[in-house]
Amino acid sequence: MASSLRRLLPLCSSSSINRTAFSASGVREGFGSSFFRGCSAFASSQQTVSKLDDEDNRQAVADTLAVDDEIAKIKHEFDAVRQGFQKIPDALKAMPKMNPEGIYVNKNLRLDDIQVYGFDYDYTLAHYSANLQSLIYDLAKEHLVNELRYPEVCMEFKYDPTFPIRGLYYDSSQGCLLKLDFFGTIEPDGCYYGRRKLSRKEIEEIYGTRRIGRDQARGLVGLMDFFCFSEACLIADMVQHFVDAKLEFDSCYIYQDVNHAIQHVHRSGLVHRGILADPHRYLVKNGELLRFLKMLRDKGKKLFLLTNSPYYFVDGGMRFMLEDSTGCRDSWRELFDVVIAQANKPVFYTSEHQFRCYDTENDTLAFTKVDTFLPNKIYYRGCLKSFLQITKWSGPEVIYFGDHLFSDLRGPLKAGWHTAAIIHELESEIRIQNEDSYRFEQAKFHIIQELLGKLHSIVANSQRSETYKSLLEELNEERQKARSVMKRMFNRSFGATFLTDTGQESAFAYHIHQYADVYTSKPENFLFYPPEAWLHAPFDIKIMPHHVKVPSTLFKNN
């Protein structure tokens, strides 16, 4: 309204009034008098609008000064704490360290209620060296070249242990390897096309946003177990080869072929025979595992082994791992009440396949019906329904240990069993998080996040001055430095397994919340806890139980 009045007021200027008033004497006394009254009213309105404008201007100036004052306070606070960035605060050394071999709890668990302990084999009972990923990669690569006619030059590819982490997703429609956070958002520095990291702009050009929608999620394949390291690296290398060679390809076919090759080296027994041919290179001996299993037996617990691997491979591996333990070389089977091999998980949990008794001497399956599990016998296939009918073990008294969140743990959880996720890289990541250098960067990151939150809360879009822009740039630059340093401590390409660079939990961490009552780096860590222990989830966790948030006050009080 004020702007409309200002557009009309110039029509009532003094020069126009005089020309109109003296143009004719008759008009001057009639129309002229009312005209002057109208102009007086406009003049009065002009004064009122002017007063309102003055008040608005004074308020705007006051608001600007207030905002500038708040920005100055944040700037002063930032400058003050930045002085503390020159050295690690002594208070960091007094902070408690997390136990790399601890058991971390998502859901409360009373161990005295657990009567039955079940175990997967690969990466659960069996510990492998880093050499195994190269073996799987090389065998799958050879299958791609020799059987699926991939270019001969691919034989020169080498497994890169510094590239993949567990919990990535492959987008079979776009050809990208993604690291997602807890909410399904692509990590800004966690999207690779082949071996090239994509920029934020490129991510948005492909996906429209960093948030993965329901339709886009249908094309994602989760790489969740420990064998996925070699699979993720081989997928990226094959995509990069086709890009470099400027050859047309369908990214969906790349995944299908690589996954087929990975499955082939397992199902054909190539990788199994390779491991047993040189167990010292691939398997890690583990006397603590025997002590843990014997402790459970001594406490009267029931034990079973449920694995997708063939019996000869499990037998060879267990003999090697436990051969240095007195009296156990030929008797590992006596530790278990039931041994089931080639179970075909996760189909095992939903199918109605019958168990077959396996003849270890003749490598054959018996034809007799299995309606009871006999000591020292080996069983193949089967299903959860028959397993529960035969054993009479009820859900809440059973806990199952496995490394694959989907194949191993999702089915047991739905059956009412308790679940324990075995995450080997947990140990190394906790050791990194315990280091003062990591906590130093973490504290810097948190305080900058707090300052950015304050800055955004007091400044509207219309109030973004040069002072604001300068401070925002400084804060973002310092935050990015802290992010980069923390990321390089874990994995140069994708960072930490459980956290994204932005401090959010990863999608992998989200699935651990979903499917694991507890998680730890290896089963024998339970030796540190009495079998009657009550395991409680922390009441105040905002991120995973093994994470510690380093407070920014360490810098403020230093």
Q: What is the pLDDT of residues 71-88, one digit of tens each?
A: 888 888 888 888 878 777
pLDDT band at residue 213 under the 50/70/90 scheme: confident
Nearest Cα to Cα of residue 531 among 227, 355, 358, 298: 298
Of 348, 326, 340, which Cα lies nearest the Cα of 370? 340
Domain residue spans of the chain:
103-127+283-423, 130-277
Would you call 250 a catalytic residue per the annotation? no
Lowest mean per-residue pLDDT among 353-357, 373-377, 462-466: 462-466
Contact indicator for 307, 121 with CB cutoff of 8 Å: yes
Say if strands 302-306 and 338-341 run parallel, antiparallel, or are unpaired.
Answer: parallel
Exposure string (b/e) for 85-105, b if CB count within 10 Å is 16 or more?
Answer: beebbeebeebeebbbebbbb
What is the reported pLDDT for 229?
Answer: 95
- pLDDT above 60 (res 291): yes
Distance CA 412, CA 468 (A): 54
> Is 68 known to be catalytic?
no
Average pLDDT over residues 176-205: 94
pLDDT at 2 (0 to 100): 41
pLDDT at 470 over 70: yes
Detail the residues annotated as belonging to a binding site: 120, 122, 403
What percentage of the chain has pLDDT greater than the value 90? 64
Binding site as annotated, residues for Mg(2+): 120, 403
Query: In the prediction, which pLDDT does 47 show?
Result: 55
In CATH, what is the architecture of 103-127+283-423? 3-Layer(aba) Sandwich (3.40)
pTM of structure? 0.83
Confidence band, pLDDT 50/70/90 cuts, at residue 18: very low
Residues comprising the binding site for GMP? 122
Query: What is the per-residue pLDDT for 463?
Result: 64
What is the predicted pLDDT for the residue at 9? 34
Confidence band for 552, pLDDT divided at 50, 70 and 90: low
Among 63, 68, 69, 122, the active-site one is 122
Mean pLDDT of 427-443: 92
For residue 86, the model assigns a pLDDT of: 75
pLDDT of residue 366: 94
11 pLDDT above the threshold of 60: no
Query: Residues 120, 189, 257, 408: which is the catalytic one?
Result: 120
* Residue 332 tokens, joined: 């590992």
Confidence of residue 1 (pLDDT cuts 50, 70, 90): very low
User: Which of 256, 7, 281, 23 lies closest to 128 in space, CA to CA?
Assistant: 281
Question: By three-state DSSP, how is residue 16 classified?
Answer: helix
Task: Give me the amino acid identity at 16.
Answer: S
The answer to whether the beta carbons of residues 98 and 498 sit under 8 Å apart is no
Which helix (H) or strand (E) segment is 398 a member of? strand 398-402
Confidence class for position 12, pLDDT limits 50, 70, 90? very low
Task: Give tens-digit pLDDT for 30-56.
Answer: 434 444 455 455 455 555 545 555 665
Residues for the chain: how many in total? 558
- Give the model's pLDDT for residue 260: 96
Write out the E strands in 113-256: 116-119, 168-171, 176-180, 186-193, 196-197, 220-223
Find where tokens 């436990």 sit.
Answer: 322
